[in-house]
Chains A and B, each alone.
Chain A
Amino acid sequence: MFVRGLKRKCFDGEEDIEGTLAGIKAIPSYNLQRQSLLDMSLVKLQLCHMLVEPNLCRSVLIANTVRQIQEEMTQDGTWQMINTQSTGQASLDRLVSTDILCRSSREQAEGKHVPGYGTFNKDFEGDQGQDSSETMSTGSSVQAPRNLQGNVWEMENPQESKGNFQKSLDQIFETLENKSPNSVEDLFSEVDNSYYDLDTMLTGMMSNTKMGHCDGLETFSSPTNTASNSNCKSDLNELDHIVEILVES
């Protein structure tokens, strides 16, 4: 009886272990699904056709999905879990493929985006008001790739990466934020021409911009639209760069 009990215990234990193993096997597939959904969402956010304004509703819904996944992943500590397991080829491949994704896009954009981003950062620092928080979050998101990269390959504090991730995600919406008239003018004055694709059109724009900009503001004189100052090309460049950072994560 005792033996049987023992045996049963062993069997149960085995079963338990099997169960746990099965559980662990089951969890990675849910994790894999979740991870692939996360990757897909980040790619979707990145692939905005920048000639026409991206659909805000779609972007908001995708961003909310990303946040939801990220929250769930932090809640059940899966950030840690994926790393500690030294998981099978599949998840590493997945992480690699994400890296390749962002590497290819980063490489092609490297020439124009990095200096452009730096310039943009500088412009923000030059302004007053809400810019301090923006500079901070901008600064932290620059570090984000290193932090998050580290998190993936080593074992770091997931909380920190979550914070950076959150800020990086929010950067996407920053480009849609209305800037005060002064800052927009400053941005126009300091951003380098060479990053623009549409050279012929935009060189014309640059020379007119100081005057045209004010006129543009005047026509927006309806009571509804005092703050409808638009984003500039550097915003779009920054968006590209920020989303690359996100994809790296």
Chain B
Amino acid sequence: ADIISTVEFNYSGDLLATGDKGGRVVIFQREQENKSRPLSRGEYNVYSTFQSHEPEFDYLKSLEIEEKINKIRWLPQQNAAHFLLSTNDKTIKLWKISERDKRAEGYNLKDEDGRLRDPVRIKELRVPILKPMDLMVEASPRRIFANAHTYHINSISVNSDCATYLSADDLRINLWHLEITDRSFNIVDIKPANMEELTEVITAAEFHPQHCNVFVYSSSKGTIRLCDMRSAALCDRHSKFFEEPEDPSSRSFFSEIISSISDVKFSHNGRYMMTRDYLSVKVWDLNMENRPVETYQVHEYLRSKLCSLYENDCIFDKFECCWNGLDSTIMTGSYNNFFRMFDRSTRRDTTLEASRESSKARAVLKPRKVCTGGKRKKDEISVDSLDFNKKILHTAWHPTENFIAVAATNNLYLFQDKIN
């Protein structure tokens, strides 16, 4: 199995898609309620697997284009088929996943195995009948949106109008119509006229869940810009600018790097947005630009290790974050296969581990704790023992229930709330 690079539930939560470094997409489907196996409700089983992207070679630049799936986003379901967008560094594809459980039998012109019948031999006409067959799930690419990004695509976001979506790379954001593949509109361009002056890149972008004219994008300098597409065709001028003033006492050479935002997500109700930087998660009220309303420390004990983390490149890891359905809890990943959850109302936080040893099926996860100094208590783990190769970058929360999907390198873990 390959390293998982993205995880996403669909709008109903019945389907869970994962993309990996090898360009494959694996979709899991939730088991339906089954009287004979009452505990099976809540299990996800493989529904469909397909190769979304292949490695390519850019002949003009003499560079490989990785097939790694950077993001998957589902479209809201409008008919029996499911649609999702998947993207690698350069190309976005719209995939249709449909079920086939009936087959037509009794053709006139061909045999059951598909061979053509000799017309001379046909003595009578018959009407083909639909007969049930084993369920087959087919994935077919319906649109390919290519050649619009010079730099690496980091985000895609489907608009609430269900007709358009945006794609963002390091320096530009494009607006697409789902039906049109040969052109897109450039709505943000932060490329300086002189590349020597480049000091900031776009790191993530997302459409507002309700207002189809509003989107946000985050930068490597820790800022978020909210743009309104009604104000101008090119949204280089933001409507709102979110930035927390820097704390001068904690300034170091790494301040800028750790302030770089790796993910931005609107809350389901559209009133807040959450940003993830290297050490913390911040919740912002869209009406207040000068500072976040809540800040949660994910792994503050790493602050004294920043130089080592810079040396081994871990400081550039891009962690994602997600909201639960009610926007009451937020979740994000950390190292050593730990992931953290923060309850916004009680301010309580939990650290859990996604590992085979600690996760037998149906076993309750034990909260973990990192010892920051002094004496290490039993069951605690010291900062120096953390495995920085085991990082949880991608997590997803079911849209309505307390189901979470956690990607730990090449393993996918699914957890749910304790049921009595």
Complex Cα distance A63/B196, Å?
11
Q: Which of A68, A170, A223 contacts B196 (CB 8 A)?
A: A170
Contacts of B198 in A (CB 8 A): 60, 173, 176
Q: From residue B117, how far is it (CB to closest CB) to chain A in Å?
A: 45
Q: Is the interface of A mostly helix, strand, loop or mixed?
A: helix
Closest Cβ–Cβ distance, residue B278 to chain A (whole Å): 11
A52 at the interface (CB under 8 A from B): yes
Residue of A nearest to B258 (CB): A61
Docked pose: A37 CA to B307 CA in angstroms: 8
By the criterion CB–CB under 8 Å, are A60 and B63 in contact? Answer: no
Whole-angstrom CA separation of A53 from B152 in the bound complex: 9
Number of interface residues of B (CB under 8 A): 43
CB distance from A78 to the nearest CB of B (A): 14
CA A224 – CA B145 in complex, angstroms?
Answer: 13
Chain B residue at smallest Cβ distance from A228: B150
1/0 per residue, CB under 8 A from A, across B132-154: the answer is: 00000000000000011011100
Asked if A60 contacts B220 (CB within 8 A), the reply is yes
The answer to whether B196 and A52 have CB atoms under 8 Å apart is no
Minimal beta-carbon separation of B232 from chain A (angstroms):
15
Interface residue from B60, B62, B147 paired with A225 (Cβ < 8 Å): B147
Which residue of the partner chain, among B66, B170, B316, contacts A52 with CB atoms under 8 Å?
B66
Q: Is the CB of A34 within 8 A of B253?
A: yes
Given A51-B63, A60-B198, A222-B148, decide whether A40 and B311 contact each other with a Cβ distance below 8 A: yes
A178 vs B61: C-alpha distance in the bound complex, in angstroms?
A: 12
Binds A, one of B1-9, B120-128, B181-189: B181-189
**B311: chain A residues within 8 A (beta carbon):** 40
Alpha-carbon gap, A33 to B316, bound state (A): 20
Known: A173-B195, A177-B195. A231 touches B61 (CB 8 A): yes
Contact of A223 among B147, B186, B220 (CB under 8 A): B186
A225 with B150, Cβ < 8 A, contacts A173-B195, A174-B196, A212-B59 known? yes
Kindly state whether residue B349 has any CB partner on chain A within 8 Å.
no
Q: Is the CB of A57 within 8 A of B147?
A: no
Contact assessment for B203 and A57 in the assembled complex, using a CB-CB cutoff below 8 Å? yes
Q: Give chain A's interface residue range (CB within 8 Å of chain B).
A: 35 or more
Q: Does A213 lie within 8 Å of B60, measured CB to CB?
A: yes
Check A69–B253 contact: CB distance below 8 A. Answer: yes
Interface string of A159-190 (1 = CB under 8 A from B): 00000000000110110111000000000000
In the complex, chain B residues whose CB is within 8 Å of the CB of A50: 63
A212 to B182 CA separation, bound complex (whole angstroms): 20
Residues in chain A near residue B313, CB distance under 8 A = 44, 58
For the complex, what is the distance from the CA of A55 to the CA of B151, rounded to whole Å? 9
Which residue of B59, B66, B203 has the most chain A CB atoms within 10 A of its CB atom? Answer: B59
Q: Which residues of A contact B66 (CB under 8 A)?
A: 52
Indicate if A219 sits at the interface (CB-CB under 8 A). yes
A205 in the interface (beta carbon within 8 A): yes
Residue in A171, A220, A228 with the greatest tally of chain B CB atoms within 10 Å: A228
Residue B413 is within 8 A (CB to CB) of chain A in the complex: no
Indicate if the CB atoms of A65 and B256 lie closer than 8 Å: yes
Residue with the highest number of chain A CB atoms closer than 10 Å, among B62, B194, B254: B62
Interface assignment of A198: CB less than 8 Å from any CB of chain B: yes
B253 touches A225 (CB 8 A): no
Minimum Cβ distance to chain A for residue B221 (Å) = 9
Task: For B186, give the chain A residue with the smallest CB separation.
Answer: A224
Q: Which of B89, B185, B195, B257 contacts A65 (CB 8 A)?
A: B257
Complex interface residues of chain B between 389 and 412 (CB less than 8 A to chain A): none
**CA distance in complex: A230, B311 (Å):** 31
Q: Is residue A103 contacting chain B, with contact meaning CB distance below 8 A?
A: no
Residues of B within 8 A of A236 (CB): 62
B171 surroundings in chain A (CB, below 8 A): 56
9 pairs of residues in contact across A and B, judged by CB atoms under 8 Å = A50-B63, A53-B61, A56-B201, A61-B220, A64-B256, A173-B196, A225-B150, A231-B61, A232-B60
